[in-house]
Amino acid sequence: MKSLFKLAAIAAAFGLAPAAGLAQAPTNNAAEASTANATAPAPEAAAGGEATANAAAPAMERAAPTPGIGQPDGRMGLPDQVSPIGEEAAWFHDIILMPLIVLISIFVLILLGWVIIRYRRGANPTPSRNTHNTTLEIVWTLVPVLILVAIAVPSIRLLAHQYDPPEADITIKAIGNQWYWEYEYPDHGVTLVSNMLPDDRAAATGEPRQLAVDYRMVVPVGATVKMIITSNDVIHAWGVPAFWVKIDAVPGRLNETWFRADRPGVYYGVCYELCGARHGYMPIAVEVVSREQFARWVAANGGNMPGAQPAAAATPTPTNTVAATEGTAATPAPSNTVAATTTPPADTQRAPTN
């Protein structure tokens, strides 16, 4: 029996014994904890062993996503863009890159076909001995330069707009964990933990599987949102295709990006960096609402809008107070009091003199 106990202790020390239970990812309320995906291994607790974020945060009424907007729908090409950067990038892709790519591909195909047919051995038994053609050399040097300039000018302008954000209206810190996202609103005092919904709950709410989450990141429409991205464990990547946003979440580093959603709705993304066994199960969902709805959502989650004073509880007036000169049974009123209008006796003390 002692030998059996020793073997069990050794197995437990090397991680061979079955664990008593897996750590559960932080959830925003007790009800959501019971809806975690029972068939998938639960993610580990947040770094530092902090208490669950927003333990009693009431849920806002969930908006239904619009089919084909903010989520994959099987179409070819880029998804519909709802941010200025996304619209500029889509224009660059559709108007500059794709026509140039198509024209170059057609030109090269025609040139190859012409060379194969015109200069084959049967049609050209005696090859040309020309070694230089100044005009041709100028053309094949100048044309690629012009093509690169046509691509570089809008590309550099897009990068400048993307990495030179306007003044932010809202700052949100997204923290990647294995395997869930945590969102902090430092100016509003709100912290949320976002976990993937099981397939049955996602289907019940009309959301795409493996993209729906229990608590969405919420932003107001038309607001410039500054995103600060980091990680607690390994490299993740936070991104939403409809906003043209994707940036790595690196442990010990704060990366920054921004977006401005000009259309209300629900927009989905995923972790774009291979971050472990459950890499495919930490989706991103951003709900864009009106400014009034956002203010109500902040209040419902225990936060405050910047500049707004929290409502202070009224201090009740005590009912058991008595006049200062009346006294009580335990403390009788002093007998040497004088009326407030009586002139006090002259001070007999004098200032020290030299």
Domains by residue range for the chain, with CATH: 84-122+138-162 (no CATH), 167-300 (2.60.40.420)
Q: Give pTM, 2 decimals.
A: 0.67
Helix H or strand E encompassing 311: none
Q: What is the pLDDT of residue 170?
A: 93
CA-only gyration radius of the chain, Å: 35
Q: What is the pLDDT of residue 126?
A: 84
Q: What is the pLDDT of residue 102?
A: 95
What is the DSSP-derived secondary structure letter of residue 176?
E
Q: What is the pLDDT of residue 335?
A: 53
Helix H or strand E encompassing 203: helix 199-204
Q: What is the pLDDT of residue 277?
A: 92
Burial 84-95 (b: 16+ CB within 10 A, else e): bbbebbbebeee
Low-confidence residues of the chain: pLDDT under 70 = 1-60, 308-354
Q: What is the pLDDT of residue 18?
A: 36
Q: What is the pLDDT of residue 313?
A: 44
Q: Which of 127, 70, 114 is nearest to 261 (CA)?
A: 70
Q: What is the pLDDT of residue 45?
A: 38
Question: Do the beta carbons of residue 60 and residue 218 sit within 8 Å?
Answer: yes
